[in-house]
Amino acid sequence: MIEDIKNMPKIELHLHLDGSVNLDLASKLSNLPLETIKEKMVAKDKCQNLTEYLTKFDFPISLMQTKENLIKIAKTLIQDLENDNVIYAEIRFAPMQHINKGLSLDEIILAILEGLKSEEVKTNLILCLMRNHDYETNLNVINLAEKYLNKGVCAIDLAGDEIKYDINNFQKLFKTAKEKHIPFTIHAGETSSSTAVITAINYGAKRIGHGIKVVNDKQAKELIRQKDILLEVCPTSNVQTNVIDTYSHHPILNFYKKNIPVSINTDNRTVSNITLTEEYIKLYKNFNFTLNDFKQMNIMAINHAFITKEEKEDLLKKIQ
Ligand SMILES: [Zn+2]
């Protein structure tokens, strides 16, 4: 079973570039020993909360300020995805976090796209608006997404501290995104409530990052089914950020049984110290998911990916 899990073609839709910088590469780029790098970039198995988990992004972001480094980091991520048999990934990052040494937004996007070029792993970028950034800054990212839409960028997202910065502050931005026909997913119901998930869906989000707080909200679950919204679940990350006490209590089984579209993701390969294969193995051991269950979840992921009908059909063929 473990071998089968490793070998099966996979889709990953919720993957942060800054949280997935390869450790050996980070060590090389910074001239620091691997042990120091691990301390700086890997979160504890159990953090106090999301805020503590988010402190592990500062160091990798400091390395992601030059074209050369961005290319290398993206290239190495492709190798990591290939090792996991990921055939399609949507990789997200916040462009505004990479301008500290003077890179332009275009240079940032083009460097990452160059690093991601691959025959084996197809990818698209999701650009993250940040909850702690002001309106104008986030509007710039929407305009950037519009410029590169279908040219390597497929959507936008909203990331950052959900509790400190309420989703209601971002209504105008998502109205603008909708008018520009830019698809979006929103981090919601990870640390906040199921109400935030409902708000995100009402804004027009086609997918929700995490969304686990809807587990006890029948109305929210009904809305998700009705509107065919996919929850991008990341179980290991949820245990680390302490929104789920222990892995076996993750609501993924509940969602799957109740016909809520779900996909499996690592969130952050480095900060969460996990591969997608390892995440599947943990799910298999805790919930007895079968290979067919995993395949169904990959089919749901493909159906909700931000790509064309033809691209979806092509991926579906590959996983059959
Ligand atoms: Zn995330």
Over the stretch 228-279, which tens digit does the pLDDT of each residue have? Answer: 999 999 999 999 999 999 999 999 999 999 999 999 999 999 999 999 999 9
What is the CA(317)–ligand 1 centre distance, in A?
A: 28
pLDDT at residue 70 in the model: 98
Q: What is the mean pLDDT of residues 100-125?
A: 97
What is the CA(190)–ligand 1 centre distance, in A?
A: 9
Side-chain-side CA neighbours of 67 within 13 Å: the count stands at: 9
pLDDT at residue 318 in the model: 96
pLDDT at residue 149 in the model: 98
- Distance, in Å, from the CA atom of 43 to the CA atom of 296, rounded to the nearest integer, reads 30
What is the CA(16)–ligand 1 centre distance, in A?
A: 6
Catalytic-residue membership of 190: yes
Coarse DSSP helix, strand, coil percentages of the chain, rounded to the nearest 5 percent: 55, 15, 30
pLDDT at residue 214 in the model: 96
Q: What is the mean pLDDT of residues 26-47?
A: 97
What is the CA(75)–ligand 1 centre distance, in A?
A: 21
The closest alpha carbon to 262, from 226, 227, 301, belongs to: 301
Q: What is the mean pLDDT of residues 151-174?
A: 95
* Beta strands at 86-93 and 230-233: parallel, antiparallel or unpaired: unpaired
- Residue 311 binned pLDDT confidence (cut-offs 50, 70, 90): very high
pLDDT at residue 280 in the model: 98
Amino acid at 129: L
pLDDT at residue 196 in the model: 97
8 Å CB contact between 56 and 237: no
The single residue of 190, 279, 310, 313 carrying the catalytic annotation is 190
Q: Which pTM value belongs to this model?
A: 0.97
Question: Alpha-carbon dihedral of residues 38, 233, 250, 41, nearest 10 degrees?
Answer: 10
Work out the mean pLDDT of the chain and round it to a whole number.
97
8 Å CB contact between 170 and 159: no
Domains and CATH numbers, the chain: 2-319 (3.20.20.140)
What is the CA(155)–ligand 1 centre distance, in A?
A: 14
- Distance, in Å, from the CA atom of 147 to the CA atom of 104, rounded to the nearest integer, reads 14
DSSP SS3 for 130? strand
8 Å CB contact between 146 and 139: no
User: Could you read off the pLDDT of 185-244 as tens digits, one per residue?
Assistant: 999 999 889 999 999 999 999 999 999 999 999 999 999 999 999 999 999 999 999 999
- Distance, in Å, from the CA atom of 272 to the CA atom of 99, rounded to the nearest integer, reads 25
Q: What percentage of the chain has pLDDT greater than the value 90?
A: 97
- Distance, in Å, from the CA atom of 88 to the CA atom of 126, rounded to the nearest integer, reads 13
Lookup result for tokens 């799957």? 256
8 Å CB contact between 113 and 152: yes
User: Could you read off the pLDDT of 42-77 as tens digits, one per residue?
Assistant: 999 999 998 899 999 999 999 999 999 999 999 999
What is the CA(107)–ligand 1 centre distance, in A?
A: 24
What is the CA(59)–ligand 1 centre distance, in A?
A: 17
8 Å CB contact between 43 and 272: yes
Question: Alpha-carbon dihedral of residues 98, 44, 50, 99, nearest 10 degrees?
Answer: 0
Q: What percentage of the chain has pLDDT greater than the value 70?
A: 100
- Residue 292 binned pLDDT confidence (cut-offs 50, 70, 90): very high
